[in-house]
Amino acid sequence: METLSAISENLQKGKANVVKELVQAALDSGIAAETILEEGLLSGMDIIGTKFKNNEIYVPEVMIAARAMTAGMEVLKPVLAETGVKSRGKVVIGTVKGDLHDIGKNLVKMMMEGKGIEVIDLGTDVSAERFINAALENGARIIACSALLTTTMPEMRKVVELLKEKGLRDSFTVMIGGAPVTEGYRQSIGADIYTPDAGSAAEEASKILAGHGDDSVD
Ligand code: B1M
């Protein structure tokens, strides 16, 4: 579809305002929010990722494209969230220590909110200690960690280990994800759930919270 490829192209050029307008126009013309996300925004970001990998573009271009992606996501956010029901429980989410990538994490947050989950967003560069303290303070059931770098993935293991040290391992479900993360990695660090994308992360979180009567820590 023409609008979707225009969204992808303008995202790659970093034209945040144009992306915003095109996303709104796509919604107005009846294209589903999920389709706009997948075939417009994410498809543009994929191309950026490949060019970055091949050294065809550099960090500044990627940052500008990322800003355009965020602008587009902002327009989609209320639409993706509107199917949600009242709060079904709480999740603490963040990108792990040393890692500043937040687009995927924001997408996971958005999808979870769309399922009526209350999400406490700790942002990026979040230490294991902060994840746990925030989960305790907010009465969250789930700690959700995102990592985009192979060098920062080990921070996820620290979350699991620190929970064990504090005698809190059974009080929280630890969910992990991000481009370099795999099911095998999840098993190796003893986290509870790995999901490859934002939609399935929201599905899994929703199932876990539905299985609990309340959202206080045992
Ligand atoms: Co960075 N970067 N980056 N970068 N960057 C990658 C990740 C990289 C793969 C690019 C490459 O070389 N091909 C590479 C990592 C290599 C590696 O570790 N193996 C890389 C690098 C090297 C770096 C720097 C070191 C570059 C440098 O400075 N020389 C640097 C590190 C900074 C730091 O974090 N300390 C850096 C910086 C940046 C920018 C700041 C410029 C920018 C981030 C802007 C921002 O996030 N606000 C950036 C970007 C944008 C990327 C790429 C191009 C795109 C990432 C993205 O947003 N994708 C990325 C290349 C790529 O991934 N192809 C790359 C779209 C997003 C929707 O996908 O985050 O994967 P993603 O989320 C997915 C799933 O993974 C999943 O759901 C989402 C989809 O539904 N998911 C979860 C994510 N979190 C989840 C959590 C869950 C479940 C699912 O449960 C809790």
DSSP letter for each residue of 54-104: TTSS-HHHHHHHHHHHHHHHHHHHHHHHTT--S---EEEEEEBTT----HH
DSSP assignment letter at 30: T
Task: Report which ligand 1 atom has the smallest distance to the Cα of 101.
Answer: 46
Note the pLDDT of residue 86.
55
| Per-residue pLDDT reduced to its tens digit, 90-122 | 999 999 999 999 999 998 988 788 677 889 999
* CATH pick for 2-83 out of 3.30.1300.10, 1.10.1240.10, 3.40.50.10800, 1.10.10.10: 1.10.1240.10
The pLDDT mean for the chain works out to 91
Q: What residue owns the CA closest to ligand 1's atom 39?
A: 63
| Per-residue pLDDT reduced to its tens digit, 10-53 | 999 999 999 999 999 999 999 999 899 989 998 998 898 889 88
Q: What residue owns the CA closest to ligand 1's atom 13?
A: 53
Whether residue 105 has its Cβ less than 6 Å from ligand 1: yes
- CATH 1.10.1240.10 boundaries in the chain: 2-83
User: Which of 148, 186, 194, 195 for a ligand 1 pocket mutation test, highest count of atoms within 8 Å of Cβ?
Assistant: 148
Enter the pTM of the model.
0.86
HSE, CB side, 13 Å, CA atoms: give it for residue 120.
19
| Per-residue pLDDT reduced to its tens digit, 151-208 | 999 999 999 999 999 999 999 999 999 999 999 999 999 999 999 988 889 889 999 9
The CATH architecture that domain 90-209 belongs to is 3-Layer(aba) Sandwich (3.40)
Distance 34 CA to ligand 1 centre (A): 21
